[in-house]
A and B are shown apart, each in its own frame.
Chain A
Amino acid sequence: GAGVSQSPSNKVTEKGKDVELRCDPISGHTALYWYRQSLGQGLEFLIYFQGNSAPDKSGLPSDRFSAERTGGSVSTLTIQRTQQEDSAVYLCASSLGTPQNSYEQYFGPGTRLTVT
């Protein structure tokens, strides 16, 4: 079946502009995650959605970052007033349940964001 998809694959934007990144999880997966990966660095957790529960936003680096998950499926990560340090690959993953309960996360290909 289809895996996790993300769009766009690449995004170049000017400093100060807002951007929206989209994630389509695997159908039926109740959990959805956003991560950021800067060049040569490890994955940095941003936000986690689980079913209808309030999202865990503890990883969001500033109030310029927000995310929504509509209808328990598609998610959008929004970055307002982008800064050059926001340049990174933004990865989305989904799973049937939580990693703590050994459910595997399936990752999308990522969106490479470049802020000029």
Chain B
Amino acid sequence: KNQVEQSPQSLIILEGKNCTLQCNYTVSPFSNLRWYKQDTGRGPVSLTIMTFSENTKSNGRYTATLDADTKQSSLHITASQLSDSASYICVVSAGGGGFKTIFGAGTRLFVKA
């Protein structure tokens, strides 16, 4: 069964600190993995996308890693800001026909001053 699991479910950190969010998946055959940021009341916005051959991708203070062997990904946020408070969603797409894109439940990040 294709699944995407994220941890932790929620996280509270102080402004300026770093944090790492985890994503484990069982989607097969693997095509790509995305991390999205969803602010409260808004639609998700893409942060990074990685295919099988990529093991790291950065977007400003956000760095995603991918280990296709262990089927794990992480999103590292450096020097967090109050505006980083949001839900972070891991999304994995499978190859082949039809729509096979699985969304994780997300990690809710709270950055406090």
Which A residues fall within an 8 A CB radius of B?
A: 4, 33, 35, 41-45, 48, 56, 58-59, 91, 93, 98-102, 104-105, 107-110
Contact = CB atoms under 8 A, between A and B. Distances in A.
A33 to B, nearest CB: 8
B60 interface: no
Interface string B18-40: 00000000000001101000000
24 contacts: A33-B99, A35-B103, A41-B105, A42-B103, A42-B104, A43-B44, A43-B103, A45-B101, A45-B103, A58-B98, A58-B99, A91-B44, A98-B99, A99-B31, A99-B34, A99-B91, A100-B95, A102-B32, A104-B34, A107-B45, A108-B43, A109-B42, A109-B43, A110-B42
B43 A4 contact: yes
Contacts of A91: 43-44
Contacts of A43: 44, 89, 103
Contact of A99 (B32, B96, B106): B32
A107 B44 contact: yes
B42 to A, nearest CB: 6
Please list the 8 inter-chain residue pairs (A to B) with the smallest Cβ-Cβ separation, ordered nearest first.
A107-B43, A42-B105, A48-B99, A43-B103, A99-B93, A99-B101, A56-B99, A100-B31
B46 interface: yes
B102 to A, nearest CB: 8
Counting contact residues on chain B (CB < 8 A from A), the size range is 20 to 34
B26 to A, nearest CB: 15
A93 B98 CA distance: 16
Given A42-B104, A43-B89, A100 B44 contact: no
B94 A100 contact: yes
B51 interface: yes
